[in-house]
Amino acid sequence: ISKRRLSLTPPVEEGPYYKEGSPGRKNIVGKRTPGTKLIVEGRVLDRSGGPIAGAWLDFWHAGSDGLYDNEGYNLRGHQFTGKDGRYHVETIRPSGYQTRAPHIHVKVRAGEESPVLTVQLFFPGEKKNATDPIFEKRTVMDVIDTADGQKAVFDFVVER
């Protein structure tokens, strides 16, 4: 009996705005940052579907004005998954800019010796998805409206 193996999450280019040394935190939004509240959550899994505890995730994205904070660490932060492989980040919905559809950048690493996966997560139903040169349909999140904003879900599948 062959076990079903999950497809690896495809990489999407890093882009020019990654900044090392982001703070470890679940809420990456500065106090006076305008925008629609967004919770992004999901799991980091291996190819057999098993949860990866202690996986590192580093998030960064543009604000609702389409700009990145390149001076400080607003809308930037990293965290590690729990025993169940789950992550949970509190942020705001990013805006698109120029040719880009709204997206959230993430670096994911299962463990210290594991390869780093760099991804951009996209939102469903965005007009610019059709023309964004970097858009990847396999990294579109499931998004639902909530009482105070939106919730997006995405499970990463990575090499251990």
Which amino acid belongs to residue 89? Answer: V
In this structure, is residue 106 part of a structural domain? yes
Structurally, how many domains does the chain consist of?
Answer: 1
pLDDT tens readout for residues 45-61: 999 999 999 999 999 99
CATH number at residue 124: 2.60.130.10
pTM assigned to the model: 0.96
Q: Helix or strand or coil: residue 137?
A: helix
In this structure, is residue 32 part of a structural domain? no
In this structure, is residue 130 part of a structural domain? yes
In this structure, is residue 31 part of a structural domain? no
DSSP E strand stretches across 16-64:
37-45, 56-60
pLDDT of residue 2: 56
pLDDT tens readout for residues 88-128: 999 999 999 999 999 999 999 999 999 999 999 999 999 99
The parent domain of residue 52 ranges over: 37-157
